Amino acid sequence: MARDRKAYEEDIVWIDNNWDELCKAYADQWIAVIDGKVIANAIELDDLLVQLDDPACTAVEFIEGKDTNGNRIDRY
């Protein structure tokens, strides 16, 4: 069953609000979030997508770890 747009947008906000913790746990990985929970993670996007029942309705984000100077990358 497809999720509605509001639920998807709430997950995007959740990612923004939890960015620092996500960076610590999932640096340099792709994550998939549904209902404010990380349901899957992988280094390669293709590996993440095959784990998802409905990728089009799942919030997917790459969590960057550090830049080329070794500094943590902030969300914005």
Q: What is the pTM of this model?
A: 0.84
Q: Quote the tokens at residue 7.
A: 């639920």
What are the boundaries of each domain within the chain? Answer: 5-63
In order along its 76 residues, the chain shows pLDDT tens digits of 567 899 999 999 999 999 999 999 999 999 999 999 999 999 999 999 999 999 999 999 999 876 666 666 665 5
Chain centre distance of CA 13: 11
